Structure 1
Amino acid sequence: MTLAEMIYERSQRLPEPAAREALDFIEFLAQRYGVAPQGKGEELAPAQREALERLSVIRVPFGGAKPILSRDSFYDDVRA
């Protein structure tokens, strides 16, 4: 039995949330070690694609901003 088959077999016994967590971890390892995604199984779900599109337009100005003196003053400035 190959290592991939052992991982698959053991993943079959996990409850759904644990199996999703295992998949997330495998994807993390693939990204960490620079393994390219393979085919259609790695495509983003529509909700994930939409979330990434929304996040891509967010811009946070870091340079030249005044220091935040307190949490309350920060929210007052943002609300204004």
Structure 2
Amino acid sequence: MTLAETIYQHSLSLPEQAAREVLDFVQFMEQRYCVTATDTLPQTLTPEQRAAYARLSRLQIDWEGKPITDRDEANAR
């Protein structure tokens, strides 16, 4: 099992809010070490797909600081 898989397995046992904190920390570490989502993409993607991922990785949405726990809650807003 890889380190990433081990982290994932541990995250499955956490309550939703704790898992969100872990995600926030991972995203913080990505920023700290200048890692983007496109750095870890499979090499089989086309240049167009890589460009789309790059645009998506820069997308930021302000939800007024409120976490959205699921799609139904997001649609209710």
- TM-score, with length taken from structure 2: 0.52
Match in the other structure for 2:28: 28
Q: Which has the larger radius of gyration?
A: 1
Whose relative contact order is higher, 1 or 2, with alpha carbons under 8 Å and at least 6 apart?
2
Structure 2: which 5+ runs fail to align? 39-52, 66-77
Code of the aligned partner of 1:34 = C
User: For this pair of structures, how many residues does the alignment match?
Assistant: 50
| Percentage of identical aligned residues | 50
Instruction: Report the alpha carbon displacement of residue 20 of structure 1 after superposing the two structures with TM.
Output: 0.1
The Cα shift of 1:37 comes to 2.2
Please tell me the root mean square deviation across aligned C-alpha atoms, in Å.
Answer: 2.9
Amino acid at match of 1:26: V
Structure 1 residue runs of 4 or more that deviate by more than 6 Å after TM superposition:
none
Structure 1: any 5+ residue segments left out of the alignment? Answer: 52-80
